[in-house]
Chains A and B, each alone.
Chain A
Amino acid sequence: MKTLVGFIAILLALAWGPAHAEKPAPRSDEVVSDISTREIAIKSNFAGIEILIFGSVDFSARAAPDKASYDVIVVIRAPGQELVARRKQRVAGIWVNGPGETFPAVPGFYAVLSTRPLRAITSEETLKSLGIGLSNLDFGRRVHDDPGEETFRSAVIDLKERQRLFQEQDDGVTFVGRSLFRASVDLPVNVPIGRYTAHVYLFRDGVLVSKNQSTIAVNKVGFERLVYLLAFRYPFIYGLIAVVVAVAAGLIGWVAFRRE
């Protein structure tokens, strides 16, 4: 409900905004966008969050809008992480992690939302050059003639898709009227922290005409942030505190339940 109200408010702002803006008129169709939540706080009650990306296509450069077809692709991406993928194999009747493949930069989160299937919007080459789509993801290394690496690559994509950390939605972007569009993305509970980027691409008859970029900060806050920072920056002190807390808990338990 809250997001809906925010959405309507921004829609109004967008509808009114351009008329009052004193910016010089853009030379071609331009896309502007914003995100419902720019700061995502991971607290103890965090169970995932839905964010809304919305925007509008500015036709003000065009005297009379033509019949061209417009498409929008939204790409949300978290910073890359070094990841190792392993395949289990049977050794003496037991399933054991076999040799693996290391990928230096796998996005911790990656979502592609579009008005239509990606390949219906534009050519494979354009998608590839922009790095749009799960199959065009750059994991920091790519050796095309190594079939083994390809298998591990698709396994990583498959696992991440099942964890909802990779998402591809053909109908994720919907136009509201002629120039306004919206897209919603579910960030699952296991999203990594970091500065995410949201790219919005506007295609006109399959040609990229405008793009727009913004960022989303995903951070642990409050107690969760404190625990996380302590655990990774001052691990010894963190361990010591954990022991002191446990000893205190044990003392409290002893006093509370002591049978005289």
Chain B
Amino acid sequence: MLQIYLPIAEISVNLLVMLGLGAAVGFLSGMFGVGGGFLLTPLLMFSGIAAPIAVASGANQIVATSVSGALAQWRRNNIDFRMGNVLIAGGVAGALVGVFLLKELREAGQAGLIISLTYVALLGGIGALMLGESVRAVRRARAGKPTGARRPGQHNWVHGLPLKMRFPRSRLYISTLPPLAIGAIVGLLTAFLGVGGGFVMVPAMIYLLRMPTNIVIGTSTFQIIFITALVTILHASFNHSLDVVLALILAAGGVMGGQFGVRAGQKLRGEQLRLLLALLVLAVATRLLLDLVLRPADLYNIAPLLAGA
């Protein structure tokens, strides 16, 4: 019985359970190479922590894990700093909008609902796409056909947009509008869902911007540090929803779990990994959807009115 009182969430949680939760998500993120925020926030909500507190504290925890990640990527020269700065500029705008939207929704009593709905849509969509893609990849691998490799240097509509900029590290000369937009969407998601947003940013940068995959991962990790840090400060300032004790426990668990996850991930094959992740993402989405659709045990709920910030 290692109960620990969370000063802002104002509940007592089991220290080992929370460390384990952080470690489990860290393990998965190490294994799959994703941030894991999109699993952590719903899991915190399932364990009885109010949605806005789960979002803010989740964002704070991601600051810690992305610093570790970005340092490792920086050592391998995998960060395109110029692209990172463009993404951050977009992200700041998105984060500001997201934090104020969440504040309004919380006052209207709809924050939990909108957070859940956004999660269901996002996780359901991405999970389904990943499932389809990985099932096809597994079949192809069984049939002995080579996996379709991306041909570099292909051009798409993105390359016709104005405000072009040179990104030497990525060997790209493209418009700044798509990265700004990607950054803004990710910033909005961070503020709203307490996620890093890598699961949206990475595919978008690979398929839309045609950046090299290794640089995509390094650069997105770099961007995530700044946006999650900003979101942490904004939520603390305007929503008073940050529980730093919770964030620290999760970060401690996450750092430990991540190390084992990386090793476990190296033993599994890529298609199998993606299939597993897709099933996991779909399971979380289903649980959230069921909570929305099934008749709740309590029709009534009470919430304190937020003292004017």
Interface string of B218-247 (1 = CB under 8 A from A): 000000010001001111111010101101
Instruction: From the candidates B65, B235, B304, name the one contacting A250 in the complex (CB within 8 A).
Output: B65
**Contact A247–B300 (Cβ < 8 Å):** no
CA distance A104 to B225 in the complex (A): 41
- Taking CB atoms, residues of chain B closer than 8 Å to A250 are 63-68, 71, 251, 255
CA distance A258 to B11 in the complex (A): 35
Instruction: From the candidates B242, B305, B307, name the one contacting A102 in the complex (CB within 8 A).
Output: B305
Query: Closest chain A residue to B12 by CB distance?
Result: A189
A65 interface hit (Cβ, 8 Å): no
Query: Closest chain A residue to B66 by CB distance?
Result: A250
CA distance A227 to B8 in the complex (A): 8
**Contact A83–B60 (Cβ < 8 Å):** no
**Contact A85–B292 (Cβ < 8 Å):** no
- Taking CB atoms, residues of chain A closer than 8 Å to B235 are 239
- Taking CB atoms, residues of chain A closer than 8 Å to B64 are 246-247, 249-250, 253
CA distance A85 to B300 in the complex (A): 7
A129 interface hit (Cβ, 8 Å): no
**Contact A85–B301 (Cβ < 8 Å):** yes
How far is the CB of B193 from the nearest CB of chain A, in Å?
Answer: 18
> Given A85-B300, A95-B296, are A243 and B245 also a contact pair (CB < 8 Å)?
no
- Taking CB atoms, residues of chain B closer than 8 Å to A190 are 10-11
B252 interface hit (Cβ, 8 Å): yes
> Given A85-B302, A235-B236, are A228 and B113 also a contact pair (CB < 8 Å)?
no
Instruction: From the candidates A86, A96, A242, name the one contacting B303 in the complex (CB within 8 A).
Output: A86
- Taking CB atoms, residues of chain B closer than 8 Å to A48 are 12
**Contact A254–B68 (Cβ < 8 Å):** yes
- Taking CB atoms, residues of chain A closer than 8 Å to B61 are 246
B5 interface hit (Cβ, 8 Å): yes
How far is the CB of B260 from the nearest CB of chain A, in Å?
Answer: 10
**Contact A84–B293 (Cβ < 8 Å):** no
**Contact B305–A82 (Cβ < 8 Å):** yes
- Taking CB atoms, residues of chain A closer than 8 Å to B66 are 250
How far is the CB of B293 from the nearest CB of chain A, in Å?
Answer: 6
Which of A113-121, A151-159, A178-186, A202-210 is found at the contact surface with chain B?
A: A151-159
B118 interface hit (Cβ, 8 Å): no
B110 interface hit (Cβ, 8 Å): yes
Which residues in window 262-309 of B have CB below 8 A to A? 292-296, 298-305, 307, 309
CA distance A227 to B7 in the complex (A): 7
B109 interface hit (Cβ, 8 Å): yes
> Given A100-B109, A235-B237, are A94 and B293 also a contact pair (CB < 8 Å)?
yes
**Contact B110–A87 (Cβ < 8 Å):** no
A93 interface hit (Cβ, 8 Å): yes
**Contact A253–B299 (Cβ < 8 Å):** no
- Taking CB atoms, residues of chain B closer than 8 Å to A82 are 304-305
A42 interface hit (Cβ, 8 Å): yes
B77 interface hit (Cβ, 8 Å): no
How far is the CB of A213 from the nearest CB of chain B, in Å?
Answer: 26
A88 interface hit (Cβ, 8 Å): yes
**Contact B236–A84 (Cβ < 8 Å):** no
Q: Is the interface of B mostly helix, strand, loop or mixed?
A: helix
Q: How many residues on the B side are at the interface (Cβ–Cβ under 8 A)?
A: 57
Query: Closest chain B residue to A251 by CB distance?
Result: B67
How far is the CB of B148 from the nearest CB of chain A, in Å?
Answer: 32
B96 interface hit (Cβ, 8 Å): no
**Contact A231–B248 (Cβ < 8 Å):** no
B213 interface hit (Cβ, 8 Å): no
- Taking CB atoms, residues of chain B closer than 8 Å to A240 are 233
**Contact A231–B10 (Cβ < 8 Å):** no
A43 interface hit (Cβ, 8 Å): yes
**Contact B7–A228 (Cβ < 8 Å):** yes
Query: Closest chain A residue to B233 by CB distance?
Result: A239
CA distance A156 to B293 in the complex (A): 24
Interface string of A206-246 (1 = CB under 8 A from B): 00000000000000100110011001100110111111011
- Taking CB atoms, residues of chain A closer than 8 Å to B158 are none
Query: Closest chain A residue to B2 by CB distance?
Result: A45
How far is the CB of A42 from the nearest CB of chain B, in Å?
Answer: 7
How far is the CB of A93 from the nearest CB of chain B, in Å?
Answer: 6
- Taking CB atoms, residues of chain B closer than 8 Å to A235 are 236-238, 240, 309
B259 interface hit (Cβ, 8 Å): yes
CA distance A94 to B112 in the complex (A): 13
Other 12 A-B pairs with CB < 8 A, given A97-B113, A245-B248: A44-B4, A48-B12, A84-B303, A86-B303, A96-B110, A100-B109, A152-B300, A231-B8, A246-B63, A247-B225, A247-B229, A252-B255
12 A-B pairs within 8 Å (CB atoms) are namely A86-B109, A86-B301, A86-B302, A86-B303, A95-B293, A228-B8, A231-B244, A235-B237, A239-B234, A246-B229, A249-B248, A257-B259
What residues of chain B have their CB less than 8 Å away from a CB belonging to chain A?
3-5, 7-8, 10-12, 60-61, 63-68, 71-72, 109-110, 113, 117, 225, 229, 232-238, 240, 242, 244-245, 247-248, 251-252, 255, 258-259, 292-296, 298-305, 307, 309
Q: Which 7 A-B pairs have the closest CB atoms?
A: A250-B67, A239-B236, A239-B233, A253-B255, A246-B63, A155-B300, A246-B64
